Structure 1
Amino acid sequence: MKSHQTTQTMKPATAAKKLGVYLEATPAEFQKGEVSRAELNELQANPPEWLRELRTDGPHPRPVVAARLGVSIAGLARGGVTEALTTEQIEALKKDSPEWLEKERATQAEVRKEAERIKNKKSAESADND
């Protein structure tokens, strides 16, 4: 008896998220169809021109914008950034360095420092227990 394997597919929004691109900026045919796991792997391994351009110039989804600015997604929202931004807009924000951005970067640095402290503490505790 032969097992029948179905192809795993995902919605375009999921595929765009995995590719790190803003769905609304992708080609219409990408937005309308489903993406198979094999197609996603192919897009990641050999990105077409539209995907390379989106990754380089944007518009970028909020997680990418947040990462490039060194803040959290919530920090973006607190700063009034609710839409996708292009690379040019991100660079302009970095250059202008508004007060909210400086504050959010400092907050993010504290969060990372605290996470590292907790991780080190847990490591030391588990080493003591061995």
Structure 2
Amino acid sequence: MSRPNAQSMKPATAAKKLDVYLPATPAEFQQNPITRAELATLQENPPQWLKDLRKNGPHPKNLVAAKLGISIAGLARGGVVDALTTEQINQLLEEKPDWLVAERESYQNVLREERRLKSLRAEQARES
């Protein structure tokens, strides 16, 4: 890839921006700083390894949680500590273990409460 400079980022930062799990990326990607131009190229014209990672995983925790409809903390409470593949995520969605059902319900309650509070604050702002 390239030499470190003010316009480059660590591989971990680039992986986060690409929504991929860093340890699953090729060694060359993991070991070299990535420039903004290289990142833009990866986003606009992803190589096969990036397409495969995005499709099959393993996926980072934030994407696993989003695909399961729960929070990252809910993953931890459910005992999920490692990155999961798309197949593993789909299997969990099919099996619907008790912890996942409970976490999804809890997460939806949190989101409802956040929406309610946002609406209440907006209403209060209009009144003042």
TM-score scaled by structure 1? 0.93
Aligned residues: 124
- Whether the aligned pair in 2 keeps the contact of 1:21 and 1:60 (CA below 8 Å) is yes
Alignment correspondent of 1:35: 34
Alignment deviations for residues 13-44 of structure 1 (CA, whole Å, 9 cap, x no partner): 11101110000110110001000111111111
Secondary structure at the residue paired with 2:101? helix
List gaps (5 residues or longer) in structure 2: none
% identity of equivalent residues = 56
CA distance in 2, matches of 1:111, 1:41: 35
The alpha-carbon deviation at position 88 of structure 1 amounts to 0.2
Partners of 2:122 and 2:46 in 1: how far apart?
Answer: 40
Letter in 2 for 1:127: R
* Structure label with greater radius of gyration: 1
- The within-5 A match list for 1:1-130 is 7-129=6-128
Shift of 1:8: 1.0
In the TM superposition, residue 52 of structure 1 has moved relative to its aligned partner by 0.6
Q: Distance in 1 between matches of 2:8 and 2:104?
A: 37
Give per-residue Cα distances to partners, 1:41-68, cap 9 Å, x unaligned.
1111111111011000000011110000
Distance 1:57 1:47 in 2: 15
Q: Is the 8 A contact 1:7 1:37 kept in 2?
A: no
Task: Give, in whole Å, the separation in 1 of the partners of 2:6 and 2:60.
Answer: 28
The CA deviation at 1:7 is: 4.6
Shift of 1:72: 0.5
Question: Separation in 2 of the partners of 1:70 and 1:35?
Answer: 31
